[in-house]
Amino acid sequence: MNIISELINDRFMIAAVLLFGLGFMNLLLQKNLIKKIIAFNVMDSAIFLFLASQGYINGRIAPIITNGILDSEVYINPIPSGLVLTGIVVSVSVTAFFLALTVRLYGIYKTVDFDEIMLLVDKEAE
């Protein structure tokens, strides 16, 4: 059962890739704009999960120096954690911008359904 043990060992990376695929598919196929924004956030979270799980090493503790132990073999890799910290805040900024665009779209077209907005835009363009 080598495949099963490999799957369990790589659990976070496989979960991240599957969540990314799920979010991407819903971003393309859902009709409601709010669901598209939720799908975008799920994609973002999946990428952060993939990136931050590259820094984990089995059996080591969080990178806060305790008892003066300065050995780098006792702590996990702190670099991916720092990169994801910036990413989380950028993700909420982009979500806020998308939601502001949705509010303005609703003010003009009175609907949040993507297909109906496309039809109304086509009718205006004629």
Q: Could you tell me the smallest distance in angstroms from the CB atom of residue 124 to another protein? A: 13
Q: Could you tell me the smallest distance in angstroms from the CB atom of residue 81 to another protein? A: 5
The tokens for 113 are: 């359904």
Contacts of 115-118 spanning 24+ positions with Cβ under 8 A: 115/31
Angle at 118 (CA atoms; ends 115, 121), nearest 5 degrees: 150
Residue 120, class by beta-carbon neighbours within 10 Å (0-12 exposed, 13-18 middle, 19+ buried)? middle
Q: Could you tell me the smallest distance in angstroms from the CB atom of residue 1 to another protein? A: 15
**Of 35 and 124, CB closest to another protein:** 35
